[in-house]
Amino acid sequence: MGLTISFEKQWAFVTGGTRGIGKTLVEELAACEANIIFTGTGETSPAWLTKLQNQYPGQKIDYRQLDLAKETWIKALEEIIAQYPGISVCINNAGINIVSDIREVKPADLRRILEVNLTAPAIITSLLAKGMAEKKYGRIVNIASIFGVGSRAGRSSYSAAKSGLIGQTRAVALDLAKDNILVNAVCPGFVATDLTRRVLGEKGMAEVCGQIPLGRLAETNDIAPAVLFLASALNTYITGQTLIIDGGYLVA
């Protein structure tokens, strides 16, 4: 029996879809025939979107500005749901990280990290799950982090948020199981993205590579296939789980 991931005639919602893991997820969802609404903080859509739309003219691929650190985003999401009521796949990917010793954490930074990484996924899931429950089908994947399982110095705020997201995933999976809505978390390790470069710097990235058994940072396309599987109809029985994709970093 051949197994092929397909999202034909399905609507997928992806936060933080303009770069890094989110961008790859949008591109791969499009290749799997999904209709997509994805978000980012920029006022204008990314330049590569037009190319993607031309490549898949039979699918709807829509960009919306949604800054999850601002109060106005909830109303904007409600408008999106009203326009696209058939969303059956949700990938809560947007995230921010500000490295700071606990003695120097700014309250405003802590609130922002929690808002984007933890509070927003809860609200998004709450709103989208209502439509999924009506259809008795839904797949939700929360992009957490290995720092929700382990941690490093300076990551207290980020670890708190990502640990919370993992716990939230488990509880929400129980809430929604009776409606055939499967909810899981994926925890990437160190991924070669702009965020990682900004946080670690080139020297720090080289040092981390030496601590990863596979000897390299992940690329975004190392993460995407697992996310797509959990978000697809091929996943029929996995819910409330946390999948770590880190090249063996935590085991070592």
Question: Would you say residue 236 lies in a domain?
Answer: yes
Task: Provide the number of structural domains found in the chain.
Answer: 1
pLDDT of residue 1: 53
Q: Which two tokens stand for residue 73?
A: 């985003």
What's the pLDDT tens digit per position in 179-222? 999 999 999 999 998 878 888 888 989 999 999 999 999 999 99
CATH of the domain at 38: 3.40.50.720
Question: Quick one: which of 183, 174, 181 has its CA closest to 227?
Answer: 183
The pTM assigned to this predicted structure is 0.97
Q: Is 158 a catalytic residue?
A: yes
Question: Would you say residue 210 lies in a domain?
Answer: yes
Q: Give the range of the structural domain holding residue 180, as residue numbers without chain letter.
A: 11-245
From 63, 84, 158, 237, the catalytic residue: 158
Per the CB < 8 A criterion, the answer to whether 231 and 91 are in contact is yes
What's the pLDDT tens digit per position in 65-97? 999 999 899 999 999 999 999 999 999 999 999
Question: Would you say residue 116 lies in a domain?
Answer: yes
Count of residues in the chain:
252
What's the pLDDT tens digit per position in 23-53? 999 999 999 999 999 999 999 899 999 999 9
What's the pLDDT tens digit per position in 151-170? 999 999 999 999 999 999 99
Segment (H or E) for 30: helix 20-31
Question: Would you say residue 126 lies in a domain?
Answer: yes
Q: Is the dihedral of CA 192, 186, 145, 94 positive or negative?
A: positive
Arithmetic mean of pLDDT over the chain: 96
